[in-house]
Amino acid sequence: MTAFDAIRAVLIIPALAAGLLAALPGYRVTSRINVVASLLTLLAAGSLFFLARPEPGSYLFIDDLNIVFIVLNCFVGFTTSVFSMTYIAHELETGKLTPVYLRFYHAMFQIMMFGMNLAFVSNNIGLMWVAVELATLSTVLMVGIYRTPAALEAAWKYFILGSVGIALALFGTILVYMAAQPVVGEGTDAMVWTVLIQKVSAFDPALLNVAFVFLLLGYGTKVGLAPLHAWLPDAHAEGPTPISAVLSGLLLNVALYALLRFKMLLAANPAAISPGPLMVILGLVSLIFAAFMLYRRRDIKRLFAYSSIEHMGIIVFAFGMGGPLANFAGLLHMVMHSLTKSGIFYAVGHIAQIKGTQRIADIRGLTSTHPWLGWGLVLGVVGIAGLPPLGIFMSEFLVVSSTFARQPLLAIPLVFGLLVAFGALLLRLTGVAFGEPTGSTAPARASYVPMYAHFLLVLGAGFYLPPPLVSWFQNVAGLLG
């Protein structure tokens, strides 16, 4: 089998699974099928490493950049499916979900995986746009799945803002096509990324500039950059926790990936504005804004949603800075954040189920009552706050130090934001994990495997990055320019 089959497998397995899951009743079977399908997808994705790269087709292709995203995507998708087995079982018992919705949920989960994988492997900016929209719509439906007023409102907000974002992104895409068309010629080729990146230097800079603004805002809405972030906290807070995990861990990455592709295009055109400054500014704004917003949060899932905004800010900032060090740091940070944040959401999901609330004020002393969950949360928050020995420390180290050496004035707000966010996260953590326990002390019926699997990976990365991974990251960092 060639890599192309692997790519197709990555797309087809979820699609088939979606159909199957939509048809089958019964949660035991479906949830297992869900896991199996995700596992198969992961295997297919993993095989991409070892198989020879095919020539990029006009619709699908695989290169150093997107393989990172695909593998990460499938991995987190797999662990999430494992996590959602226990989680959804509990939701069924408490009657928050009915079997019908459960079927729907599993189908949607696979469709979303399909959409995201498609977005990654698509070599065609039009196709990529469609895929992103598909992924977004499927998550919208899942966010509203509880049908409480808050959930519906969150889904609605997500839907409207998302649609506007989609529209802007499309306009940007059209502009890129317009820019490409005179050089590349009419037809599909003018939308094939691999072709564009070769010829982009000849494109009309003015068109590219306008295009980038629309793309930045369009896909930036999905990345959750302030001030386009509004949908993100509520969508995380009101949807089922597995979806929160996937949103933070994956969907933001999808949009980020799209953004990066176009950044590379623009960077390759000498006459166009350099995308760096815009991204740096948006990143800083998001970071500092989110850092302050963390202080007044009362809902634990919304808290971590805002921390996702904060970290997306850091990542976008890093990519905006550019250069081998910063890009490396950005990639590393993205991977680490996906793993850590989804792990945190696994923990939070179980915690919320045990305590029967998401109000931070009602959750206390977890390390005493539920040591595994409590210390897991501590580990995750410590990691997300950028403390060693977890992986994010390394990326933050690189971002801050390299920035301060190049642009001291940019490093000050960066450090300020980091510190403010740290203060808020630690404040909440102290309340939740320590102190006199409150609420139910019933033992958790949860599988800690996904959570601790993520944390162990991040922990390992904090100590030691395997050389192949490193050279590969450096390679990609080089691609990003």
- Report the residue number, 65 or 237, with the smaller CB distance to other proteins: 237
- Report the residue number, 49 or 397, with the smaller CB distance to other proteins: 397
Least distance from other proteins to the Cβ atom of residue 179, Å:
8
Cα dist from 52 to 49, 55, 81, 270, whole Å: 8, 10, 29, 33
For residue 49 the two structure tokens come to 């490493």
- Tokens 């989680």 -> residue: 87
Binds other proteins by CB under 8 A, chosen from 47, 194, 209, 440: 209
Within residues 277-316, the interface with other proteins by CB under 8 A covers 278, 289, 292-300, 302
Contact 31, 88 (CB under 8 A): yes
Q: How far apart are CA 67 and CA 125, in angstroms?
A: 17
Binds other proteins by CB under 8 A, chosen from 132, 142, 215, 400: 400
| SS3 state at 117 | helix
Q: What single-letter amino acid sits at 34? A: N
Within residues 73-132, the interface with other proteins by CB under 8 A covers 126-127, 129-130
Contact 33, 17 (CB under 8 A): yes
Least distance from other proteins to the Cβ atom of residue 284, Å:
14
Binding-residue pattern over the window 365 to 394 for other proteins, x denoting contact by CB under 8 A: x-x--------------x--x-xxx---xx
Least distance from other proteins to the Cβ atom of residue 27, Å:
26
Q: How far apart are CA 288 and CA 284, in angstroms?
A: 6
Closest-CA residue to 481 (of 157, 264, 166): 264
**Residues in Cβ contact with 325 at an 8 Å cutoff, skipping those fewer than 6 apart:** 398, 402
Binding-residue pattern over the window 318 to 357 for other proteins, x denoting contact by CB under 8 A: -------x-------------------------------x
Asked if 49 touches other proteins (CB under 8 A), the answer is no
DSSP code per residue over 124-136? BHHHHHHHHHHHH
Binding-residue pattern over the window 403 to 442 for other proteins, x denoting contact by CB under 8 A: xxxx-x--x---x--xxx-xx--xx--xx--xxx------
Give the number of other CB atoms < 10 A from CB of residue 478: 12
Within residues 441-470, the interface with other proteins by CB under 8 A covers 463-465, 467, 470
Residue 323 gets the label, from left (phi > 0), alpha (psi -120 to 50) or beta, of left
- Report the residue number, 82 or 398, with the smaller CB distance to other proteins: 398
Binds other proteins by CB under 8 A, chosen from 32, 153, 441, 475: 153
Binds other proteins by CB under 8 A, chosen from 29, 99, 359, 456: 359
For residue 28 the two structure tokens come to 């035991």
Asked if 197 touches other proteins (CB under 8 A), the answer is no
Binds other proteins by CB under 8 A, chosen from 280, 398, 432, 480: 398
Q: How far apart are CA 479 and CA 82, in angstroms?
A: 34
**Would you tell me the crossing angle of helices 300-321 and 392-406 to the nearest 10 degrees?**
40
**Would you tell me the crossing angle of helices 125-143 and 231-238 to the nearest 10 degrees?**
50
Least distance from other proteins to the Cβ atom of residue 387, Å:
5
Within residues 133-152, the interface with other proteins by CB under 8 A covers 133, 137, 148-150, 152
Asked if 201 touches other proteins (CB under 8 A), the answer is no
Q: What single-letter amino acid sits at 361? A: A
Least distance from other proteins to the Cβ atom of residue 420, Å:
6
Asked if 475 touches other proteins (CB under 8 A), the answer is no
- Report the residue number, 80 or 124, with the smaller CB distance to other proteins: 124
Binding-residue pattern over the window 157 to 196 for other proteins, x denoting contact by CB under 8 A: x-xxx-xxxxxx-xx--xx-xxx-xx---xxx-xx-----
- Report the residue number, 54 or 423, with the smaller CB distance to other proteins: 423
Total number of residues shown for the chain? 481
Least distance from other proteins to the Cβ atom of residue 247, Å:
17
Cα dist from 468 to 283, 301, 335, 477, whole Å: 29, 35, 16, 14
Within residues 228-287, the interface with other proteins by CB under 8 A covers 228, 230-231, 233-234, 237, 273, 278
In this structure, is the dihedral angle defined by the CA atoms of residues 385, 391, 397 and 403, taken in order, positive or negative?
negative
Binds other proteins by CB under 8 A, chosen from 217, 315, 336, 446: 217
